[in-house]
Structures are given as C-alpha cells and as structure tokens.
Amino acid sequence: MAVIELTVNGRKQRTDAPPGLMLLDLLRDSLGLTGAKPGCGEGACGACTVLLDGRPVKSCITPAASARGKTVVTIEGLAPEGGLHPVQQAFLETEAYQCGYCTPGMILAAAALLDRTPRPADAAIRQALEGHICRCGSYPRIVEAVRLAAREARRD
C-alpha cells in the first residue's frame, strides 16, 4: 500500500492507495468527493473528468499514483464555497442539462478551455467537449452555456 500526497480543491490530502487504484476511486471512495461520476470506466464518456494541474483528465483511467504531488480540482472545488464559477452560472442560466450526470465533467472541461482560451470559437468549444457524452442530448445548450460564460467573463 503506497501513501499518496496531493492537493485536492486547495486542501492537502494524504491517503493510502493500493497499487492500481484510479484517481476516480481515490476521490470518491477515500475522500468522499462524488462529483466526478463513474460512467464507462474506459475513458470514453467524460463523466469522471477532473482537472489535474489545470488540465482535464479522465479520472477513471488516470492512476491515482500519477497525481502524487499534484493539484486536483473537482466540481466541488471549482468555485469558492457558496459561489458559482462563471461556467456553472451559465449552465444554470441556459439550463444546459437534464439528468446532470455529464454536467460536472462538461463544466470542468469548459472551465479549463476558458482558462487558456478566453474567446473560443465554436469549433474550439466543440473540440474541448469532444469525448464528453451527454446521454440526454443537451449538446446545443451546453455549447450555448460555454459561449455565455465566455461573454460574461470578458465583461468582468
């Protein structure tokens, strides 16, 4: 059993990790952060997406050991407590979800996109969300939400 130290949502964590443990299981089972969702389990649906040193990763196929010493942000920590990230606010305003299962991964991928590309073209939005499956088919409103978040961020 290895010990892994990492920073999750701004807090240092130290936790046991058996060999082969994936980051998704560490977050959900060891740290109780259930915002990242288990879906396909093979990197194909995006439901489990978190940010690892600012970049979106599919946590179901990311070994927990690879997060050692790094910074992880989950949907629970994207905005300061009690607040909403601009992408979360935009998802609410455009009702860019139905069941919400894909939503945490979509929001984190979009937030990472806007961090590096504040004025994304639609093609860039679609590319950032590639590999994120919405079984409810909310894609048009999801893209609209990202456009809205980008517009609102530019007004600040």
b/e map of 25-43 (b: 16 or more CB within 10 Å)?
bbbbebbebebbbbbeeee
Q: Does 153 bind ligand FES (CB under 6 A)?
A: no
Contacts for 144 with CB less than 8 Å, ≥ 6 apart: 94, 96
User: Around 139, how many Cα atoms within 13 Å sit in the side-chain half-sphere?
Assistant: 13
Structure token digits, residue 144: 């609209």
Q: Does 48 bind ligand FES (CB under 6 A)?
A: yes
In the complex, the smallest distance separating the C-beta of residue 95 from ligand FES, rounded to whole angstroms, is 10
Q: Does 43 bind ligand FES (CB under 6 A)?
A: yes
Q: Does 91 bind ligand FES (CB under 6 A)?
A: no
In the complex, the smallest distance separating the C-beta of residue 12 from ligand FES, rounded to whole angstroms, is 25
Residues between 93 and 122 that touch ligand FES (CB under 6 A): 97-103
Which residue number, 5 or 29, has a Cβ lying nearer to ligand FES?
29
- Name the nearest CA neighbour of 109 among 131, 82, 140: 131
User: Around 24, how many Cα atoms within 13 Å sit in the side-chain half-sphere?
Assistant: 21
Which residue number, 127 or 154, has a Cβ lying nearer to ligand FES?
127
Helix (H, G, I), strand (E, B) or coil at 143: helix
Q: Does 79 bind ligand FES (CB under 6 A)?
A: no
Q: Which stretch binds ligand FES (CB under 6 A): 35-43, 77-85, 119-127, 146-154?
A: 35-43
Residue among 4, 17, 26, 47 that touches ligand FES (CB under 6 A): 47
* Whether the Cβ atoms of residue 16 and residue 104 lie closer than 8 Å to each other: no
Residues near ligand FES (CB under 6 A): 38-41, 43-48, 58, 60, 97-103, 134-136, 138
